């Protein structure tokens, strides 16, 4: 398109020097018609026909010039009576005839906006930045549309183009400051997430919501990411609340469902974790992460109906090693079989004592704990495939299945 526009002065010069240069007139008329300049194009086609009455292309293009004028009049009338869909249909034909006419594309963009389709409006507006010189209005409008769609990086790029044309443009500069501030906060938040600085990320997302409280897409985006950060920082109750709010805003977001499922696992609500992973998998059937998460949640649900080492020690799933050992020592002393007199009481204490010791063994061994957290009991004989499982070393010296007097020697490490 650019080279044809550049050819217009040369064609006009050639016609000025030789008015009966019909090929130049025809070419200029075709370019003018593509630009939507029907009156000027008509003059060139009519000049060709005066010199060559049977010229087929000139006749055809003259008719198309009339078609274009009629189409634009009909489209504008449809727009005025708010028949936006009808106007779009008519403008489609007009744009076929005059693809370099910014007016037709701008009008169709307005129709798309009235029908609630900003993405299609953007597709029509983008070419107009090149079809009109110094089209700051189009760059600003594009930036605002991208901004409202949540595409802050593209919004920033478009408003910068406006400022390149005029750095003192007040409307563009005011919008630029807002977009730049929000973009910086969101980019900083994502950098914190990447570095696993979740608390810092949460603060940045909260700041972003304050910077732009009126565009819902940014509030939703921030809550989705805060949900992720809370889940990753092992704050299950807060994560569940935030993820639930994010899910209400964006029901098909599989990452929200995944993060809430992980929070449910931390909170030992395994059935709900399974439900969330299943729902997420319905939206993204091929996602391996969701498939693995669902299998793990199902294992944990099954495991929860058996021996739960966390419950045995009375600790949360995110307890650290120091908390595990502290709980173990307290319970081991409480359920020491020598503390009980009758055989029945000793048997009950022995059973509990074995469970307490097993819990301590599994949860203080990183490899065994990871297996347990994945839904596999490393001390369950069913999981010791081929006899190659972890040898169960009791952290106290007694025969747990023997009888008679108990003499325990604790190794509290």
**Quick check: 270 and 304 in contact, CB under 8 A?**
yes
Q: What is the pLDDT of residue 4?
A: 58
pLDDT at 11 over 70: yes
Residue of 136, 143, 207 lying closest to 175 (CA atoms): 143
Half-sphere exposure of 386 (CA within 13 A, CB side): 1
Report the SS3 class of residue 91: helix
Q: What is the pLDDT of residue 165?
A: 96
Q: Which CATH superfamily is domain 1-133 in?
A: Tetratricopeptide repeat domain (1.25.40.10)
**Quick check: 125 and 138 in contact, CB under 8 A?**
yes
Q: What is the pLDDT of residue 413?
A: 44
Average pLDDT over residues 381-397: 49
pLDDT at 297 over 70: yes
Q: What is the pLDDT of residue 2?
A: 53
CA-to-CA separations, 264 to 40, 162, 166, 281, in angstroms, rounded: 71, 48, 53, 17
* Model confidence pLDDT, tens digit, residues 271-293: 999 999 999 999 999 999 999 99
Q: What is the average pLDDT score of the chain?
A: 90
Average pLDDT over residues 337-364: 91
Q: What is the pLDDT of residue 296?
A: 95
pLDDT at 386 over 50: no
**Quick check: 293 and 277 in contact, CB under 8 A?**
yes
Which class does domain 312-376+396-413 fall in?
mainly alpha
* Model confidence pLDDT, tens digit, residues 172-192: 999 999 999 999 999 999 999
Domain-wise residue ranges, the chain: 1-133, 312-376+396-413
In angstroms, rounded to a whole number, what is the distance separating the alpha carbons of residues 258 and 268? 15
Residue of 287, 292, 207, 300 lying closest to 253 (CA atoms): 287
Residues with Cβ within 8 Å of 320's Cβ and at least 6 positions away in sequence, in order, are none
Domains 1-133 and 312-376+396-413 share a fold: no
Number of other CB atoms surrounding residue 133 within 10 Å:
7
């Amino acid at each position: 398109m650019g080279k044809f526009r550049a050819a217009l002065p040369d064609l006009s010069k050639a016609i000025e020097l030789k008015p009966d240069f019909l090929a130049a007139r025809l070419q200029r008329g075709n370019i003018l018609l593509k630009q939507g300049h029907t009156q000027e194009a008509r003059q060139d086609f009519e000049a060709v026909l005066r010199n060559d009455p049977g010229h087929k292309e000139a006749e055809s293009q003259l008719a198309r010039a009339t078609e274009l004028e009629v189409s634009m009049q009909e489209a504008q009338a449809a727009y005025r009576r708010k028949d936006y869909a009808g106007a779009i249909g008519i403008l489609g034909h007009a744009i076929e005839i005059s693809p370099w006419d910014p007016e037709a594309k701008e009008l169709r963009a307005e129709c798309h906006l009235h029908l609630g389709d900003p993405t299609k409006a953007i597709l029509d507006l983008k070419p107009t930045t090149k079809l009109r010189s110094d089209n700051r209005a189009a760059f600003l409008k594009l930036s605002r549309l991208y901004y409202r769609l949540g595409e802050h990086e593209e919004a920033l790029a478009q408003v910068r183009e406006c400022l390149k044309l005029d750095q003192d443009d007040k409307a563009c500069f005011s919008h630029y400051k807002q977009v730049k501030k929000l973009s910086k906060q969101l980019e900083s938040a994502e950098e914190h997430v990447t570095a696993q600085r979740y608390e810092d990320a949460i603060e940045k997302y909260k700041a972003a919501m304050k910077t732009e409280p009126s565009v819902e897409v940014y509030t939703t985006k921030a809550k989705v990411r805060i949900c992720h950060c809370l889940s990753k920082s092992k704050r299950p109750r807060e994560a569940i609340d935030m993820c639930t709010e994010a899910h209400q805003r964006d029901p098909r977001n599989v990452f929200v469902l995944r993060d809430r499922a992980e929070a449910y696992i931390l909170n030992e609500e395994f059935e709900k974790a399974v439900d969330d992973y299943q729902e997420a998998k319905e939206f993204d059937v091929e996602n391996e992460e969701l498939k693995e998460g669902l299998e793990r949640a199902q294992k944990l649900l099954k495991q929860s109906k058996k021996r739960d080492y966390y419950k045995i020690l009375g600790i949360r799933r995110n307890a650290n090693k120091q908390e595990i050992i502290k709980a173990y020592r307290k319970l081991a002393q409480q359920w020491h079989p020598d503390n009980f007199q009758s055989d029945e009481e000793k048997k009950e204490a022995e059973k509990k004592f074995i469970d307490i010791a097993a819990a301590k063994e599994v949860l203080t061994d990183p490899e065994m704990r990871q297996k347990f957290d994945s839904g596999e009991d490393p001390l369950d004989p069913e999981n010791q495939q081929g006899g190659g499982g972890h040898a169960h070393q009791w952290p106290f010296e007694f025969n747990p299945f023997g009888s008679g007097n108990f003499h325990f020697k604790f190794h509290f490490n």
